[in-house]
Amino acid sequence: MISVEEALEKVLGCVEILEVEETPLLESMGQVLADDIISNIDIPPLDNAAMDGYALKADDTLGASGQSPRILRVIDTVIAGSISQREVTPGTAIRIMTGAPVPEGADSVIRFEDTDEAQRQDSNVNEIGILCEVERGLNIRRAGEDIAQGATVLKKGTVLRPAEVGVLASLGMSKVNVIRRPVVAVLATGNELVSIDQPLPRGKIYNSNTYSVASLVKRYGGVPKIIGIASDSEASLLDKLRQGLDADMLITSGGVSAGDYDMVKDVLASEGEITFSTVRMKPGKPLAFGTLKGADKKGNPRRVPHLGLPGNPVSSMVTFELFARPAMLKMMGKKNLTKTMVEAVLEEPVVNTDGRRLYVRAIVTKSDGQYHVHLTGPQGSGILTSMSLANGLVIIPEDTAGAKAGDTVKVILLGWDDEDDI
């Protein structure tokens, strides 16, 4: 039995960063940028108005006030997307809308509220009263103030979030080079399993692991390839496994413990190499990892990493978070492979009798700037609803007998960051 750290190191040692591919911009969300991005345009491209108002010369506003407005002649109106053909000369102004390019001759924009426009009856304003002095440059967004032509806007290795996708769009990039997403084959094993679109015969259960595991694959940016269900026979398992050998990683669930029909390990041994088959953790002790003999698109031999997750629904999800997720993130070129962890005050005791590292489903709350954590209830690894209740996994180290109420413990957060209502 190896430690969680050793197991993770072995898994990560067997996966490589994937190739670069060009992808449509919107699909790149969450992927890692493969090139530095250098802008070949200024953004904004031209000086433009930051407010609706009048473009004018600041000198024309000297001495202007509510009591003694400066009257300027309005010679044009310019809206966003258009360019005025007129030039602002002393004594004149051009009515301007937010985003419209600042006309020739103007050095400032005064907002409507600082003019007497609202008091004027005629909708076609020929003259405007300026009610205050303005500083030169007021309400003008300078060309290139966001992005200057030639600047490196985003660096290779950046994870694309909505803001970066927006920045790339502002440069007019409809496609972007990123590290491609891993395809992860998902295979369930067990004679008891029935597909969710079929009636449920007595003695059978629905195959839920395929859906929790494939959802995790999607959530962390991969592309699940659902292989279906293999029955507990070597022939069925081999047949299905082979369908997953073109994937970047193969994940099976079930069939890795010591039961009579648990044959994933045997098949893994005959079709590839087993790296480990038990890990000092609970849930998740029977966790197999190895590589299967596969082939790339050109038929060249390649090793396909295979994670044999335990069949219990909670165990398969917890072991996915701890091993499959970092493997996927490494393949996608990400640097931070660990999930967010916090320290929290444990509100009830947890006993550890096994000498394994416990991952306890728990509910994290925050009060007075301090995280608190209590258990979801029964911790059986078949109780999948405990994962649904949980927003954290309390870690109880393998070399302790547990933790008391009031102890500070480490908790892995399972939530969706800003969607967490901790």
Q: Site residues (CB under 6 A) for ligand AMP? A: 188, 190, 192-193, 205, 207-210, 253-257, 259, 262, 310-313, 382
Of residues 289 and 371, the one with the C-beta less far from Mg ion: 289
Give the nearest distance from C-beta 377 to Mg ion in angstroms.
25
Lookup: tokens for 347: 């509100």
Give the nearest distance from C-beta 34 to ligand AMP in angstroms.
36
Residue 324 and residue 308 in contact, taking contact as beta carbons nearer than 8 Å: no
**Dist CA 4 CA 278 (whole Å):** 10
Fill in the DSSP letter of residue 419.
G
208 binds, among Mg ion, ligand AMP, none (CB under 5 to 8 A by kind): ligand AMP
Nearest to 254 by CA among 322, 167, 198, 186: 186
Give the nearest distance from C-beta 255 to Mg ion in angstroms.
5
Identify the residue whose tokens are 């990560």. Answer: 12
- Give residues in contact with Mg ion (CB under 5 A): 190, 254-255, 311
Of residues 197 and 419, the one with the C-beta less far from ligand AMP: 197
Cβ burial, residue 128 (10 Å; 0-12/13-18/19+): buried
**Dist CA 334 CA 328 (whole Å):** 9
Determine the residue with CB nearest ligand AMP. Answer: 311
209 binds, among ligand AMP, Mg ion, none (CB under 5 to 8 A by kind): ligand AMP
Identify the residue whose tokens are 């001495």. Answer: 63
392 binds, among ligand AMP, Mg ion, none (CB under 5 to 8 A by kind): none
Give the nearest distance from C-beta 1 to Mg ion in angstroms.
21
Cβ burial, residue 278 (10 Å; 0-12/13-18/19+): middle
Give the nearest distance from C-beta 244 to ligand AMP in angstroms.
15
Of residues 90 and 259, the one with the C-beta less far from ligand AMP: 259
Residues forming beta bridges with residue 345, ordered by sequence position = 372, 408
308 binds, among ligand AMP, Mg ion, none (CB under 5 to 8 A by kind): none
Residue 328 and residue 214 in contact, taking contact as beta carbons nearer than 8 Å: no
Of residues 116 and 192, the one with the C-beta less far from ligand AMP: 192
Of residues 80 and 205, the one with the C-beta less far from ligand AMP: 205
140 binds, among ligand AMP, Mg ion, none (CB under 5 to 8 A by kind): none
Give the nearest distance from C-beta 243 to ligand AMP in angstroms.
16
Of residues 101 and 311, the one with the C-beta less far from Mg ion: 311
Give the nearest distance from C-beta 225 to Mg ion in angstroms.
21
313 binds, among Mg ion, ligand AMP, none (CB under 5 to 8 A by kind): ligand AMP
Nearest to 386 by CA among 323, 284, 318: 318
Of residues 23 and 209, the one with the C-beta less far from ligand AMP: 209
| DSSP three-state, residue 12 | helix
| 148 CB-near residues (< 8 Å, 6+ apart) | 39, 42
Cis omega (within 30 of 0) on the bond before 283?
Answer: yes
168 binds, among ligand AMP, Mg ion, none (CB under 5 to 8 A by kind): none
- DSSP run (H or E) holding 403: strand 402-403
Dihedral (CA of 112, 130, 100, 25) sign? negative
- DSSP run (H or E) holding 212: helix 209-219
Return the CA Rg of the chain.
31
Give the nearest distance from C-beta 395 to ligand AMP in angstroms.
23
Of residues 144 and 286, the one with the C-beta less far from ligand AMP: 286
48 binds, among ligand AMP, Mg ion, none (CB under 5 to 8 A by kind): none
